Amino acid sequence: MQIIESPKEYDAIIVGSGAGGGMATHVLANSGLKVAVVEAGPFFDPKDPKTQTQLKWPWESPRRGASSTRAFGDFDMSWGDWKVDGEPYTTAEGTDFLWWRARMLGGRTNHWGRISLRFGPVDFKHKDVDGMGDNWPIGYEDVKPYYDKLDKLVGVYGTNEGRYNDPDGYFLPPPKPRLHELYYTKAARKVGVPVIPSRMSMLTKRINNERGVCFYCRQCGRSCNQYADFSSSSVFMIPALNSGKIDLYTNCMVREVTTDKEGRATGVSYINKDDRREYKLKGRSVVLGASACSSARILLNSKSSQHPNGLGNSSDVVGRYLHDSTGLGRSAFVPQLMNRKNFNEDGTGGMHVYSPWWGYDQKLDFARGYHIEIGGGFGMPSYGFGFNATEINKFAGGAVGGYGDKLRDDVKKVYGAFIHLAGRGECIARHDNRCEIDPDVVDQYGIPVLRFDYTFSDQERMQAKHMNNTFESIFDAMGAVTLGEAAGPEKDYGLLAPGQIIHEVGTTRMGDDPKTSVTNSLCQLHDADNVFVVDGGPFVSQADKNCTWTIMALAMRTSENIVDQFKQKNL
Amino acid sequence: MDRRESLKSLLIGTIAGATLGASACTPEEKTTGPDIEQAPLYGRLPEEIERDKQLMSEVFLNEHELTTVAVLCDIILPATSTAGSANDAEVPAFIEFIVKDLPSHQLPMRGGLMWMDSESNKRFNKLFKDATDAQQIEIVDDIAYPDPDGKKPEMAYGIKFFNLMRNLTLTGYYTSKIGIEDLGYMGNRPNVWDGVPQDILDKHGMAYEEELLPKYVDQSKRMDIAEWDDQGNLLT
């Protein structure tokens, strides 16, 4: 079967339409470059009533939202999750890794938590503090102007707190805390844990005339039909498409970056999933935003005589230094919240307050830190609601078990009386933690798949132990009943599996030395100067901040540099 | 009591209402998204529509089993003066669907229902559904509570099954329109959040911090486009 080549030549071919690819599309298309975007999933618009799940009721799903077909439940707006049909991945023996892929325009930004945290000055140079991992070749001052522009362009609520490593920005006003968040605030501060308004990219206030304003349904995970939360689909891709400035190829899965005799990129080859044929696009530059691991996979599969180890991989670093946030969660029953008066406390998606890391000056038995996310309140019931409802009577009073009116009362008296805390921390990036090409397995398009090989170190385990202790002390200070026992060392103190926090980054890390890094500090491959990476791949370390805001700030910086290089005729 | 009679009529409606109006897909313009001609009400993809249709065309619980489920549902959540029963909320139809959707429930459900009949036969020489209300309650009282000390080991299977029935009944009920009204969940609608109502704050001895109050969103200005000074102070 012949490969079909398009005669058109683009200035830039962007692979992927999530946070990084979306930002690259926004900058490059608006600069007048000829841009193609190749997305492995179908078109998606959060406004489309046919696919919309926002404001649906649980009874509209015959399974009441259970996770039978979507891992985070029927109403979650991610097409594709830990599994994508016909597109497997494998893990090295004795290791574990979970990899979330959203196959749709906008990728994972359609359902993400919208927690939007800048990295601080310490986060870029943490090796200077504790000798672990590596410093970034850039510092906070290099990225700050892009964070500033990003805040205004996309919108994020929060407050300027003057905290050195949680830098201020251009924030929309935050919503007032919910009742359980007030209980949390009081208790956390009692044990020395700071609490400040959360920083989330929902529009509590208008930022332009194109996007709507938050109407407080708490369903950002379903993607907002008013475009009042940040999804790359609604904020970047659909406006670019409507302006006629880009060619969008959906359902097209990039196999490799093609190169010429000099080893420079000439474009991409991709499989059209609809007709299962291979096509080629020509481009003067290629911008990879397929996600940290997918971009690494594309590079490793792009072998040629000039790049026998895969494109950009003369260092053997592509796929290495893979790291996800650490994470675990604990829950508690709050007796003071029993039998409370009902009111609508949906609020924005996720939390209204959070705890940034506070332990910089403490002597601890682990490196780095974590932040705390808070959940609770009168949530909308879905499948699983009411399971083992009477168990809590051990603490709330009354018989365990039963039926009839007593059971009804049991359910209602503890509705909204629980609080959930989740830690999200920094994992030290290690050379050994990696994804590589599995020598034996291809996906349904004949493309060799990734094999993950990732283990935790004691740094992460001790951090998890600390999370458990902190959460329990906050619950105690609240007068709440901690539910379940803390996991012990045999279970890594309850750490969730690598990949499960969905913050995987580091696979094409940046650096000044081509022997130990894949891209330079402008996210440009050392080995091919017309290939760029705009997803989480170039991260040297992840900090205890979620990665999306930094992916977008760096993607903006990289893309503006691409525009400059075109102007200077370097590309 | 006419519980059984009212159940019979309810069940007919429940089963008839169980098919979702999904229809076949035809190709569409690519830029309008996946090929969904007429999606069901909750935003499904074509392969999900197919799966739903397939499950709904299958029957797992037979009429006898479904009637027994319905009897148990209304013992677990009978109607009150203000809220409908589990059968009013069509919980048996939900249970029929969910055991097909999550097949790990099938064996415990089928075996548990059979256990109920065995137990009822043993005690009253009648199937559970045909036992009197008082006889049904007699069995239920023996399995509706945990038995941590193992004082009645012969009831262990029933206890386990009743727990499953109670879980599925509660979840089916409180995710139904009737159940959500009974629970008092007041969200899932556009609104303007402006904090916890004052009377509730007072009751819990909570207050918003004075110094933060000016920083929280002023909902009267939510439609004004945001502008900042160079220090990041919001001006509008």
Reported ipTM: the value is: 0.96
For chain A positions 438-467, those within 8 Å of chain B (CB to CB) are none
Q: What distance in Å separates residue B177's CA from the closest CA in chain A?
A: 7
Distances (CA, A) of A159 to A144, A152, A167, A254: 17, 14, 10, 41
Q: What is the mean pLDDT of chain B?
A: 88
* Residue B235 forms contact with A (CB below 8 Å): no
**Tens of pLDDT, residues A262-283:** 999 999 999 999 999 999 999 9
Specify the residue for token string 């009822």.
B120
Q: Are the C-beta atoms of residues A61 and A75 closer than 8 Å to each other?
A: yes
User: Which of helix, strand or coil describes residue A350?
Assistant: coil
Q: What are phi and psi of A148, to 5 degrees?
A: -60, -50
Q: Do A51 and B101 touch (CB under 8 A)?
A: no
Angle between helix B156-174 and helix B91-101 axes, rounded to 10 deg? 110
Instruction: Give me the pLDDT at residue A318, please.
Output: 98
DSSP string, A283-335: ES-EEE-S-HHHHHHHHHH---SS-TT-TT-TTS-TTTT-B--EEEEEEEE-G
Instruction: Name the stretches of chain A with pLDDT < 50.
Output: none
Specify the residue for token string 């590596």.
A134
Instruction: Give me the pLDDT at residue A205, please.
Output: 98
Q: Give chain A's length.
A: 571
Say how far apart CA A438 and CA A87 lie, in whole Å: 13
CB atoms within 10 A of CB A2: 6
Q: Is B27 exposed, middle or buried (0-12, 13-18, 19+ CB in 10 A)?
A: exposed
Q: Are the C-beta atoms of residues A517 and A115 closer than 8 Å to each other?
A: no
Instruction: Give me the pLDDT at residue B9, please.
Output: 46
Chain B positions touching A58 (Cβ under 8 A) are: 175-176, 180
Say how far apart CA B97 and CA B59 lie, in whole Å: 9
Instruction: Give me the pLDDT at residue B46, please.
Output: 92
Q: What distance in Å separates residue B116's CA from the closest CA in chain A?
A: 16
> Which residue among B45, B171, B195 sits closest to A176, beta carbon to beta carbon?
B195
Interface probe for A, chosen from B26, B80, B174 (most Cβ of A below 10 Å), is B174
Q: Do A378 and B187 touch (CB under 8 A)?
A: yes
User: Quick one: tokens of A254?
Assistant: 């990039």
The gap from C-alpha A351 to its chain's centroid, in whole angstroms, comes to 16
* Residue B34 forms contact with A (CB below 8 Å): yes
Q: Are the C-beta atoms of residues A147 and B232 closer than 8 Å to each other?
A: no
Instruction: Give me the pLDDT at residue B33, please.
Output: 56
Q: Do B226 and A207 touch (CB under 8 A)?
A: yes
Report the predicted TM-score, pTM, of the whole model to 2 decimal places. 0.94
Q: What are phi and psi of B213, to 5 degrees?
A: -50, -45
Q: What distance in Å separates residue A360's CA from the closest CA in chain B?
A: 25
Q: Are the C-beta atoms of residues A417 and A337 closer than 8 Å to each other?
A: yes
* Residue A423 forms contact with B (CB below 8 Å): no
Instruction: Give me the pLDDT at residue B35, please.
Output: 55
**Tens of pLDDT, residues B210-222:** 999 999 999 999 9
Instruction: Give me the pLDDT at residue B36, please.
Output: 53
Say how far apart CA A16 and CA A9 lie, in whole Å: 18
Instruction: Give me the pLDDT at residue B101, please.
Output: 98
DSSP E strands in A204-294: the ranges are 246-249, 252-259, 265-272, 277-283, 286-288
> Which residue among A63, A155, A205 sits closest to B217, beta carbon to beta carbon?
A205
DSSP string, A464-484: HHHHHHHHHHHHHHHT-EEES
**Tens of pLDDT, residues B1-52:** 455 555 544 444 333 333 333 333 333 334 455 555 554 579 999 999 999 9
Say how far apart CA A438 and CA A453 lie, in whole Å: 11
> Which residue among A61, A215, A380 sits closest to B42, beta carbon to beta carbon?
A61
Sheet architecture: strand order including A481-483: A196-197, A353-355, A370-376, A418-425, A326-333, A481-483
**Tens of pLDDT, residues B91-148:** 999 999 999 999 999 999 999 999 999 999 999 999 999 999 999 999 999 999 999 9
Specify the residue for token string 């903006």.
A556
Q: Do A344 and B187 touch (CB under 8 A)?
A: yes
User: Quick one: tokens of A229?
Assistant: 């939360």
> Which residue among A173, A178, A343 sits closest to B215, beta carbon to beta carbon?
A173
Say how far apart CA A250 and CA A14 lie, in whole Å: 12
Q: Do B223 and A407 touch (CB under 8 A)?
A: no
Q: Do B31 and A44 touch (CB under 8 A)?
A: no
Chain A positions touching B151 (Cβ under 8 A) are: none
DSSP string, B161-224: HHHHHHHHHHHHHHTSHHHHHHHT---SS------S-HHHHHHTT----TTTGGGS--GGGTTS
Helix (H) or strand (E) holding A9: strand A4-10
Distances (CA, A) of A192 to A186, A188, A195, A219, A359: 10, 6, 9, 32, 10
Greatest alpha-carbon pair distance for chain A in Å reads: 78
Q: Are the C-beta atoms of residues A184 and A195 closer than 8 Å to each other?
A: yes
Distances (CA, A) of A401 to A267, A376, B110, B157: 64, 24, 22, 15
Instruction: Give me the pLDDT at residue A3, please.
Output: 85
CB atoms within 10 A of CB A512: 11
- CA of B146: which chain A residue's CA is closest? A401
Q: What distance in Å separates residue B142's CA from the closest CA in chain A?
A: 10
Q: Do B196 and A176 touch (CB under 8 A)?
A: yes
